Structure 1
Amino acid sequence: MTSSQPPRLSLFVEPAEWVEEVLAAAAVIDGFGVDVPVTLAWAAEVGRTLPRDASLTDRWQLLAGAAFLDVGAARILEPHLDALAILDEAGVEPDAAATWGVFAAEGAGTRLTAERDATGWTLRGTKPWCSLAGSLSHALVTAWVDDERRRLFAVPLRHDTVTAHAGPWHARGLSQVVSAPVDFSGTPAEPVGDDGWYLRRPGFAHGGVGVAAAWWGGAMGLLPALRAAASTERADQIAHQHLGDADAALWAARAVLAETADVFSAGPRADAGLLANRARTVTARAATTALETADLALGPLPLVADETHARRVADLHLYLRQHHGARDAARMGRDLTASEQPW
């Protein structure tokens, strides 16, 4: 637990009362973010009580606030809420007691296929990068239905045909959020949407920016230490510059996240993928700036003597690797060259 008080982060709009209540409850949970079963229980309760009409702004403020408290907690909460949003978009009512992951990554040398017979669909093969598969009850998983098409399926992870690997997972950041392969051996699966729906749906872009909101909240958690360092009697102009640099970068990301929430809330857009990639890129760069600035401003001491700070830095470094840097920028460039009205 990093604080006895919930964060007061906002995307230029005061968080809804339910957001503040959820974060206030989280702030007093022993082991929040570190104890996976405890944090998953909290995430499941958040999912059960989340207003169906919750705005994107408030959903992202919730993720940012959770990450401000503990980056690992946001990393646990985000896929659960994303899965619930996907199921809602598909018109599927989830089990209220379930805890969810979303496993959509592909990896060299592994392939998960979906087969259909008279009794229904089953999954066979291996899926890489399945976060917390050994702790969750269910997951939404993409699988190949033939050589060209993928489809999304809901699967029970506690079925005897599912084997969740314990590793390899030598991570120093997010060490509790094990992301390892899972083997499926004829696992019963329920299709969610038709072929290709997972990537086509409007909510795909929304979910991607939700992750960025968590990056932003995690990076905002570095500012109190920078402010404290700039407030000491020994602080010089460089200490003030470090604080100003990090604040400016994160303020710009805040503005981008807020505008993206407003634009997405106005309705579906053909350029939603481009807008999401822009928001993720701006936020990832801002969070990276804050991390680099904190390292320069604070030196090695908090990285070795302050468990909370060291864990935040390590967790955020790894979480940011969900952004693919130059490859994501190149994808934006391709989208821009293909667009008739890129700006």
Structure 2
Amino acid sequence: MTDSARPPAWAGVDDDHAAASLLAHESISPEPGDAVALAARLGARAPLPGTGRTAELWGLLATLAATDVGAARMVEPHLDALAVLAQADDAGLDVDLDRVGADATSTWGVYAAEGPGVRLEATAADGAWRLTGTKPWCSLAATLSHALVTAWTPDGRRLFAVDLRTDAVRAADGPWHPRGLRQVVSAPVAFDDALAVPVGDAGWYLRRPGFAWGGIGVAACWWGGAVGVARTMFAAATAREPDQVALAHLGAVDTGLHAARTVLARAAAEVDAGTADGATARRARAVAADVVQDVLARSARSLGPGPLTTDEAHARRCADLELYVRQHHAERDAANHGRHLLEHGSAPW
């Protein structure tokens, strides 16, 4: 897609054109090798969250997702990993990345999921940490060079940096049979006494403020993907005289996208002001996820089956977005938020 055809998704926010400029002259492709290479290039230029330009960072992710959801899904973890490593550096943590062969050209994943029946253990011996076991849901492990991985220690879960290219790491190619994000293989990885270096002490990964920030960055990708779907709706409405139903869906989609954009922009300001907390992230993710689901449903009812069967880009965008937004756990995340509200002790409204 040409630069002129890639308007910023973060329209209406001061940093929208700055975000789009980071993608200027970049070719956006859904192929893993291309997307990972794009991630490396953007990682050298994109701002870090919490440094005064968080809206620009999330605008970049949203603009990318509005063009190709799969590409954004592959770029976001690399930028998140760089943010985690920068936060470790800011905290004065000694992370010896040289020991796992990481440098400025490395491409990163972040693997923190847990799953039934599998467990990744970290043990220290002779001045070195080793990882043994299986980690589920490791996206693009066969394509990336490095990853930040949570593993269990006697003191609890701890974050480690590891080289994915060694014989001690084996990335499975499945099972992976989705209809969306088919190229973003997210499968188990087996570690067999793999050398790793710790990033913070036990629990640091979850305690740091940046954990919540990363979750909102994902929500910005969801929102950007919904913008791409909405643009197809708008184009269809201008191609022929829309009826009242199409107009109603278009108006409702605009209202929802505007509301979610406002919440995300407010969250970015709170991150830069140092006032963002877990509630900020939970609210932003819930609002974005709800709007994405509404946009997908309204686009299907408004446009009918045609674009889903004849427009490859639209059909792939919808399928990719439907799976991507499932990183939000719907009612379970809402219940978790409600639990935190009660633990706070007073109503926030």
- Range of TM-score over shorter length: over 0.9
Name the residue aligned to 2:92: none
Equivalent pairs: percent with the same residue? Answer: 52
- Alpha-carbon deviation of 1:22? 2.2
Unaligned stretches of 5+ residues in structure 1: none
Offset at residue 36 of structure 1 (A): 1.1
Q: How many residues align?
A: 336
Contact kept, 8 Å, 1:7 with 1:68, in 2: the verdict is no
Amino acid at match of 1:21: S
CA displacement 1:284-316 (0-9 Å, x = unmatched)? 000110000000001111111000000000000
Letter in 1 for 2:197: E
Inter-CA distance 158–233: structure 2 relative to 1 (3 Å threshold): closer
- For each residue in 1:128-177, what CA deviation from the matched residue of structure 2 results, as whole angstroms up to 9, or x when unmatched? 0000000000000000002x610000000001100000000001100010
Offset at 1:95? 1.3
Partner in structure 1 of residue 53 of structure 2: 55
**Residues in 2 aligned to 1:172 and 1:291: alpha-carbon distance in whole angstroms:** 15
**How far does residue 19 in structure 1 lie from its aligned partner after superposition?**
2.5
- List aligned pairs for 1:327-342, cutoff 5 A: 327-342=332-347
Q: d(CA) in 1 for partners of 2:292 and 2:228?
A: 10
Change (3 A) 1:279 1:254: same
Distance 1:168 1:303 in 2: 26
In structure 2, C-alpha distance between the alignment counterparts of 1:70 and 1:54, rounded to whole Å: 26
| 1:46 matched residue in structure 2 | 42
1:42–1:276 Cα change, 3 Å:
same
Superposed structure 1 runs of 4+ greater than 3 Å apart: 1-4, 51-54
Aligned-residue Cα RMSD (Å) equals 1.7
TM-score (normalised: structure 1): 0.94
Deviates more, 1:2-11 or 1:179-188: 2-11
Q: Residue 121 of structure 1 is aligned with which of 115, 122, 129?
A: 129
Q: Out of 59, 65, 74, which is 2:72 matched to? A: 74
Give the secondary structure class of the aligned counterpart of 1:222.
Answer: helix
**Does the 8 A contact of 1:202 with 1:268 survive in 2?**
no
Question: Is this contact kept in 1: 2:8–2:17, CA < 8 A?
Answer: no
Q: Distance in 1 between matches of 2:2 and 2:325?
A: 20
In structure 1, what residue type is equivalent to 2:83? A
Contact 1:226 1:243 in 2 (8 A): yes
Equivalent residue for 2:103? 95
Q: Which runs of 5+ in 2 are unaligned?
A: 90-94
Q: Which residue of 2 aligns with 1:221?
A: 228
Maintained 8 Å contact 2:140/2:185: yes
The structure-2 alpha-carbon separation of the partners of 1:62 and 1:2, relative to structure 1 and needing over 3 Å to count, comes to same
Query: How far apart are residue 328 of structure 1 and its match?
Result: 0.3
Tell me what 2:242 maps to. 235
Partner of 1:298: 303
Asked whether the equivalents of residues 308 and 314 of structure 2 are also in contact (C-alpha less than 8 Å), the reply is yes
TM-score between both structures, scaled by the size of structure 2: 0.92
Amino acid at match of 2:141: A
